[in-house]
């Protein structure tokens, strides 16, 4: 019995990968749980709020005076809450630079934390 199972195992494993008996494949892969997904509407007020939070937190931590300009692009990741990874333009005096910021948010707890801030 064990031998039969071992002989059939490669067939069982390859069946779902090959698209099943019909040979059809899925055009669009479902998003991976925990994977980063693009944010389509970076002008969404919540995304803007997250970006402004990141700039404010960085200013307090690094004793800088960056001024938020705009969100260029972003991704989100479902975790125990939500991670936002944004490319943000911010003005430092007369010069505007881009920064990659990561903010972890648990909306139901009113919790936000800046976990990464670096120039790009």
Phi, psi of 101 (to 5 degrees): -120, 145
Element (H, E) at 45: helix 45-62
- Per-residue pLDDT, 29: 53
pLDDT tens track for 59-102: 999 999 999 999 999 999 999 999 999 999 999 999 999 999 99
Q: 37-119 has which CATH code?
A: 3.10.450.10
Q: Give the rounded distance of the alpha carbon of 58 from its chain centre.
A: 19
- Per-residue pLDDT, 78: 96
Query: Model's pTM, two decimal places?
Result: 0.73
Residues forming a β-bridge with 99 = 88, 119
């Amino acid at each position: 019995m064990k031998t039969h199972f071992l002989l059939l195992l490669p067939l069982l494993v390859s069946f779902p990968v090959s698209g099943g008996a019909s040979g059809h494949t899925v055009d669009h892969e479902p998003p991976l749980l925990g994977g980063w997904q693009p944010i389509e509407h970076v002008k969404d007020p919540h995304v803007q709020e997250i970006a402004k939070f990141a700039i404010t937190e960085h200013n307090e931590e690094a004793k800088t005076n960056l001024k938020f300009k705009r969100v260029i692009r972003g991704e989100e990741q479902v975790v125990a809450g939500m991670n936002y990874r944004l490319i943000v333009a911010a003005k430092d005096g007369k010069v505007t630079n881009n920064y990659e910021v990561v903010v972890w948010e648990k909306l139901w707890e009113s919790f936000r934390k800046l976990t990464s801030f670096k120039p790009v």
